[in-house]
Structure 1
Amino acid sequence: MGKDGDYSATILWDDVRSVQNEVPWAGLVWFSRSIPRQSFFMWLLVNKKLKTQDIMSLWQSLGDTNFNLMCCSLCTSGPESHDHLFFECPFAEQVWDGVKGRAGMEMVQNKWDSIFDHLLQVSNSRNARHVIGKLVVAAAAYFVWQERNQRLFSPKRTADQLVEVILTTVGIKLHSMRFKRTTQVNAILLEWSLPHGLLMEDDDCG
């Protein structure tokens, strides 16, 4: 900065940003086939930056607010936290149970640490099943959080309704993707009721 020369947005960006080493979970949050708003939400979730009750209870500026009297708006059975909402809450657990088969994660426990560890192992994989798994987890977490917020002002949706929203969202995204022709992909297209026109040679997913 401060030197004469041609203006470049790239040079300006390099001057003002703080460059750090890539974190090991970058591939499970930011990947080319992700849904941007859900990727940003996953970044918040992985960094535990969502304003859940356990986080807000640590804020000293809230005066006399008694968070011991508050409870999860989805199940009303106890205080909420990141781990509770994703997906140990009885309501969120129903949602996750309804979609995890489509993510190829039937054997993964309904605990965020277990889900995160599984995704971390496949974070940079371009395998179709792994890409879909990342999409399903992001959509499930995003819509569970959305439902948690909307219940303050809007009618409740059932777990089955949320499952349908999640699967429809991921299904629409899959319609814009292309996959290599493999036995696994044939099974995925059938499982998601996708047209076989999505089958074509492509190095990104196999």
Structure 2
Amino acid sequence: MGLGFVTHRESLWVKWVHSYRIRGRSFWDVPIRNNITWGWRKILQLRSIIHQHIWIKLGNGANTQVWFDKWDAVCPLSRVITPRMITNAGLEMGATVADMVHNGGWAWPNSWVARVPALQQLDNVTLLPQVQDRAVWRSRSGEDMEYSTFGVWNDIREIQEPVDWDRIVWYPQAIPRHSFLMWLIVCKKLKTQDIMCNWRASGNANYNLLCCSLCTLGPDSHDHLFFECEFASQVWYGVRDKVGMQMIGKRWDDIMDYLRHHAASKHASHIIGKLVVAASAYFVWQERNNRLFSANKRNAAQLIEVVLMTVRMKLHTMKFRRTNSVNQILSEWSLPRELLLDQDDFG
């Protein structure tokens, strides 16, 4: 939503929101009612997260709400000054900083200063009549910057320790839907049957009857499907030679260890290796679901062909640097030489 609601940016959307949603109140003070739309509710729920970051650099003070905007370290003043105090003093809820500064001093009652110690901590305010107030985004580190979605996301997201598999899952040449599934696999978030067997409390279903739809030898799991299942292992063994992984067994941990070792590599064979692993996992999972919820079946040979065809089609969208190993890759994957670049890149 940017800073438009706070700055009254010249936008039809912002004008509409102020006319029909905010209606003369402060954006920070709009109540969350039961009859509001889902989208507007979500926007209002974000206020507690972003309010600390949206600061107003005072100019003339005419567009900064004195009670609700954050223009000083002790703000918003609405945390310490109640609506009743404001009303009893004959002041307006929508008052601006300019409305409250008279002859270099504050227009609120002197008794407030003793009653509300935070007011004593306010910095002296000097308004500049020819300068407009300006909203800025104050980062987690205390740096004021222009609003950007990148900066906002970095400041409001929950920061966790870096993982060692990010470049296995997310990389420029990846197929997005395959990356998403790889992320779920790495985090063990797929609803496999071993997880479902723990849902004993849900209904009268007999989860003991569940079995892998690919091999029918017992309940499936992340480790079973990728690729210890008899069917899935045939798929894996049918594609691994194409990317020089013939020595890597069918255990997911072994495959991931290999990919981690080459995760940062820009060598064509290593990038294609990540594509093949992700495509194999994607189509094994797809086949598992097809067999559970429909009568459609493909054998391992058909799945191998789908995996290789999908990767080959992706490779047609790329460019390769000219090396002897790349020439071999083009030959193995039946790719045209028009995909070669003159510069030393892989794109």
Count of residue pairs brought into register by the alignment: 206
Match of 1:21 in 2: 161
State the AA in 2 paired with 1:48.
Answer: K
Counterpart of 2:239 (choices 99, 105, 112) is: 99
- Distance between the aligned counterparts of 2:343 and 2:209, measured in 1? 54
Runs of 5+ in structure 1 lacking a partner? none
Is the Cα–Cα contact under 8 Å of residues 215 and 229 in structure 2 kept in the other structure?
yes
- Distance between the aligned counterparts of 1:36 and 1:161, measured in 2? 23
Match of 1:143 in 2: 283
- Distance between the aligned counterparts of 1:8 and 1:60, measured in 2? 47
Summarize deviations over 1:56-107 as a string: whole Å, max 9, x none: 2223542443322110001111221111111111111111111111121101
Summarize deviations over 1:177-196 as a string: whole Å, max 9, x none: 11111111011000000001
Match of 1:193 in 2: 334
- Distance between the aligned counterparts of 2:345 and 2:281, measured in 1? 25
State the AA in 2 paired with 1:46.
Answer: V
Flag the structure with higher helix content.
1
- Distance between the aligned counterparts of 1:165 and 1:202, measured in 2? 32
Q: Give the secondary-structure state (helix, strand or coil) at the position aligned to 1:101.
A: helix
- Distance between the aligned counterparts of 1:196 and 1:16, measured in 2? 46
- Distance between the aligned counterparts of 1:184 and 1:203, measured in 2? 13
TM-score, normalising length from structure 1? 0.93
Is the Cα–Cα contact under 8 Å of residues 234 and 300 in structure 2 kept in the other structure?
yes
- Distance between the aligned counterparts of 2:316 and 2:183, measured in 1? 25
State the AA in 1 paired with 2:308.
Answer: L
Match of 1:41 in 2: 181
- Distance between the aligned counterparts of 1:154 and 1:202, measured in 2? 50
Match of 1:32 in 2: 172
Counterpart of 2:268 (choices 122, 125, 128) is: 128
Q: RMSD between aligned alpha carbons?
A: 1.7
Runs of 5+ in structure 2 lacking a partner? 1-49, 57-134, 137-146
Match of 2:317 in 1: 176
Is the Cα–Cα contact under 8 Å of residues 88 and 110 in structure 1 kept in the other structure?
yes
Summarize deviations over 1:37-59 as a string: whole Å, max 9, x none: 11111010011111111112223
- Distance between the aligned counterparts of 1:141 and 1:202, measured in 2? 33
Seq. identity, %: 57
- Distance between the aligned counterparts of 2:339 and 2:322, measured in 1? 9
The question of 1:53 aligning with 2:193 is answered: yes
Match of 1:162 in 2: 303
